[in-house]
Chains A and B, each alone.
Chain A
Amino acid sequence: MADNPFPLDTEGLLEAYRTMRTIREFEDRLHTNFATGEIPGFVHLYAGEEAAAAGIMMHLRPEDRIASTHRGHGHCIAKGVDPKAMMKEIYGKVGGSCAGKGGSMHIAELDVGMMGANGILGAGAPLACGAGLAAKHRGQGDVALSFVGDGASNQGTFLESLNLAAVWNLPTIFVVENNGYAESTSRHYGVAVDSYVDRAAGFGLPGITVDGTDFFAVYESAGEIIDRARNGGGPSLIECEMVRFYGHFEGDAQTYRADGEVADLRRNRDCIKTFRSKVEGAGVISADQFDQIDGEVIALIDEAVVEAKAAPEPDVAELLTDVYVSY
């Protein structure tokens, strides 16, 4: 094998690829299976955006907390949530991450620092401020991250959180995943000043924009921004410019997208293809090694679906357990 020019060793590169491929396979399978009507509720797929989740989360420890969005499957997988438990959760079955009662938009796994996907737009940012405040008081260098879409970044909760994080100098990082659409509305229509970095600057936070389809650009930038927060440098914002391969939700006819837009994105801005081509081209990892991971990932998702379908539904008596807490 050739000398490795990348910022990760071979094991790290394989891990990054496995994470991105697992997300892609997970989402592609949901896309297929949702169309059959066997999955309850709504799903919002992360396919096309994998480099952002993988490039950021590879810098995190289990103690670091993230607050996700309605499009949260990629964040969950990259943060270490078991894909089989996720699949059961999405199918609404016993053994799901939240006992099959939360569904796609409420997957959480606190043991790995995943505070939850979130069905309420912009609601993750205040949670990440809370986690950031806790981390600051613990003083062990932990950080908290809030993911938000370009549309939800218009929510007051998000802007108030930027202010709070700045005032308290929290180790909280705001990740704006800019895929260009707030559901079906172009960001060019719905955002007054179309720069998320400018929004951060308005609160005195540094912000950067990075190509969210380039794993290495995300990985390198996120490493700096996370180290800064761990070392007392405070909050910051990173905007990942990315692409969405499917609709806002499954079933979205996507009439607001140009003819050929998605095909062009899949051809030219597929973050996994770019990653593989670059690493394989450098001679660091062989096609066989990548293919082997592809096979293992497909087998994992096959098993996840089979097990999810076979698992029982929660008992009616479980309806209110885990829902209310007595203090």
Chain B
Amino acid sequence: MVRLGTYGQRSAGHPVRLGQISAGSAIDVGGRDRTGTVGLIANPVSARDIRRVIANASSLQVADRANIVLRAAAALGATGIDKIYAMPDKKGIQALVQRGLERERNMGHRLPHVEFLDMSITSSVDDTHRAVDLLAELAVDAIIVLGGDGTHRAVVSRCATIPIVGISTGTNNAYPEMRESTVSGLAAGLYSSGAVPGSVAITDNKLLEVSVNGGEITDLALVDVVASTDRYVGARALWRTESIAEIFVTFADPEAVGMSAVAGVLEPVGRADRYGLHVKLGPGGRRLKAAIGPGMLSSIDVESWTRLLPEQAMAVTPEAGTLALDGERELELRPGDDVSLTLRPAGFVSIDVGRTVRWAAREGIFIEP
């Protein structure tokens, strides 16, 4: 059994403690120069779609999202990070975070300086794209992302080389795990400050590349691609199982809700496995029960399923309909469109929060002198 501690370069006998970390100095660990700065993308409009009405899905309030940011910031500050670059918004998160920071300062609490990026705000996914571009220019060490699968997808679509730390505030949330933001902030800070090497903290993630008509349109999904017979984007969410024709997943997790769960109850596939799963729906196979959304347990007829092998383009021939990416109808297809999918095992990087904090604990980093 490989001990986590053996991944790192640091000697267990000479642990780096939180108080000794000097943020801002460039430290090369795991092949990356670090700037001691962290980016933050908090989507104010995730978890707002029709599933609130049809499935009692959660509706995380903006005030709660701001508090999640403040808790992550506190953890980042404890690891020595003193600068966070954040995406601005006009939906209330920025305003509430600024009020919260002022409140904390008034009470003498030290939090990192949060600088909101200088960019125009459209209150659409374009804001996420623009913010990620700016964060990449600033060479932040990691990006903390608040949102669901869709928000994380938007981040990765612009930059797959800066590790992300996902915090679940969306609806299905197969990709971002449910975890307290304090711990997520801690892991980001431990990596960004140089306390934990990249060889420990960073992990590769799979994604599905989508190409329509030989590259006329390209897109990606972190968790699932669904060929739906719904032929308009409309309310975006997927909830009518009769319209789902085929499902492609990077990992199949019966602990998730959504398409990953459908595949997961057939054959669980882990995030680290080098293959995915392709499920064809229809009569003639077996009927299963799966959580296709929060509180939505549906019976689904599965015709067949096969493993999706890495780096092999797979032609999909859906009837004209839509392609849903990570749970939302995105692309309206015309009859005759050629769709190709490729599973990329090393599609983007993230920080493995659990592994990072466990390694830090074993190295004694949390022990105060």
A102 to B47 Cα, complex, angstroms: 42
Binds B, one of A213-221, A244-252, A295-303, A304-312: A213-221
Chain B residues positioned under 8 Å from A225 (CB to CB): 50, 53
B219-254, CB < 8 A from A:
231-236
CB distance from A16 to the nearest CB of B (A): 13
B53 and A224 form a contact (CB under 8 A): yes
A187-234, CB < 8 A from B:
188, 192-195, 197-198, 201-202, 206-210, 214, 216-217, 219-221, 224-225, 228, 233
Answer whether residue A7 sits at the interface, using C-beta atoms and an 8 A cutoff: yes
A236 to B55 Cα, complex, angstroms: 13
Contact of A220 (CB < 8 Å), options: B44, B52, B235, B332: B235
B90 and A188 form a contact (CB under 8 A): yes
Among residues of A, the one whose C-beta sits closest to the C-beta of B121 is A188
Answer whether residue B354 sits at the interface, using C-beta atoms and an 8 A cutoff: no
Given A194-B90, A194-B92, A217–B233 Cβ distance below 8 Å?
yes
A195 to B48 Cα, complex, angstroms: 10
B46-74, CB < 8 A from A:
48-50, 52-54, 56, 59, 61-63
A198 and B61 form a contact (CB under 8 A): yes
Chain A residues positioned under 8 Å from B236 (CB to CB): 217
CB distance from B61 to the nearest CB of A (A): 4
Contact of B231 (CB < 8 Å), options: A5, A192, A198, A217: A5
Given A198-B62, A220-B235, A225-B53, A5–B96 Cβ distance below 8 Å?
no
B50 and A221 form a contact (CB under 8 A): yes
Answer whether residue B309 sits at the interface, using C-beta atoms and an 8 A cutoff: no
A5 and B320 form a contact (CB under 8 A): yes
Contact of A208 (CB < 8 Å), options: B48, B63, B92, B332: B48
A219 to B232 Cα, complex, angstroms: 12
Given A195-B61, A198-B61, A198-B62, A207–B52 Cβ distance below 8 Å?
yes
Answer whether residue B110 sits at the interface, using C-beta atoms and an 8 A cutoff: no
A219 and B62 form a contact (CB under 8 A): no
Answer whether residue B91 sits at the interface, using C-beta atoms and an 8 A cutoff: yes
CB distance from B25 to the nearest CB of A (A): 38
Chain A residues positioned under 8 Å from B143 (CB to CB): none
CB distance from A209 to the nearest CB of B (A): 4
B234 and A195 form a contact (CB under 8 A): no
A224 to B96 Cα, complex, angstroms: 32
From B45, B53, B62, name the one whose CB has the most chain A CB atoms within 10 angstroms: B53
A233 to B53 Cα, complex, angstroms: 9
CB distance from B27 to the nearest CB of A (A): 40
A194 to B49 Cα, complex, angstroms: 16
Answer whether residue A168 sits at the interface, using C-beta atoms and an 8 A cutoff: no
A134 to B123 Cα, complex, angstroms: 39
Chain A residues positioned under 8 Å from B96 (CB to CB): 193
A228 to B44 Cα, complex, angstroms: 26
Which secondary structure characterizes the binding site on chain B? loop
Among residues of A, the one whose C-beta sits closest to the C-beta of B333 is A5
CB distance from A225 to the nearest CB of B (A): 5
From B48, B49, B96, B123, name the one whose CB has the most chain A CB atoms within 10 angstroms: B48
B61 and A216 form a contact (CB under 8 A): no
Chain A residues positioned under 8 Å from B233 (CB to CB): 214, 216-217
Given A208-B50, A228-B53, A195–B231 Cβ distance below 8 Å?
no
B62 and A194 form a contact (CB under 8 A): yes
CB distance from B320 to the nearest CB of A (A): 7
A220 to B320 Cα, complex, angstroms: 19
Chain B residues positioned under 8 Å from A256 (CB to CB): none
Given A193-B63, A195-B61, A221-B235, A228–B52 Cβ distance below 8 Å?
no
A210 to B50 Cα, complex, angstroms: 8
Answer whether residue A42 sits at the interface, using C-beta atoms and an 8 A cutoff: no
Chain B residues positioned under 8 Å from A194 (CB to CB): 62, 90-92, 95
B234 and A193 form a contact (CB under 8 A): no
CB distance from B229 to the nearest CB of A (A): 9
Chain B residues positioned under 8 Å from A216 (CB to CB): 232-234
CB distance from B120 to the nearest CB of A (A): 10
Chain B residues positioned under 8 Å from A195 (CB to CB): 44, 48, 61-62, 91-92
A197 and B63 form a contact (CB under 8 A): no
B234 and A219 form a contact (CB under 8 A): yes
CB distance from A12 to the nearest CB of B (A): 13
Among residues of B, the one whose C-beta sits closest to the C-beta of A222 is B235
CB distance from B138 to the nearest CB of A (A): 25
Given A193-B63, A195-B61, A206–B52 Cβ distance below 8 Å?
yes
CB distance from B234 to the nearest CB of A (A): 4
A6 and B232 form a contact (CB under 8 A): yes
Contact of B59 (CB < 8 Å), options: A188, A201, A241, A282: A201
Write the A1-32 contact mask toward B (1 if CB under 8 angstroms, else 0): 00101110000000000000000000000000
Chain A residues positioned under 8 Å from B92 (CB to CB): 192-195
A208 to B57 Cα, complex, angstroms: 11
A99 to B238 Cα, complex, angstroms: 48
A228 to B50 Cα, complex, angstroms: 12
Chain A residues positioned under 8 Å from B91 (CB to CB): 194-195
A220 to B230 Cα, complex, angstroms: 12
CB distance from A154 to the nearest CB of B (A): 14
- Give the 5 A-B CB pairs with smallest separation, nearest first: A5-B231, A220-B234, A209-B48, A220-B235, A206-B52
* Other 4 A-B pairs with CB < 8 A, given A201-B59, A209-B48: A5-B321, A208-B48, A210-B50, A224-B50
Q: List 16 A-B contacts (CB under 8 A).
A: A6-B231, A193-B92, A193-B96, A197-B48, A198-B59, A198-B62, A198-B63, A201-B59, A206-B52, A207-B59, A208-B50, A208-B53, A220-B235, A221-B235, A228-B53, A282-B231
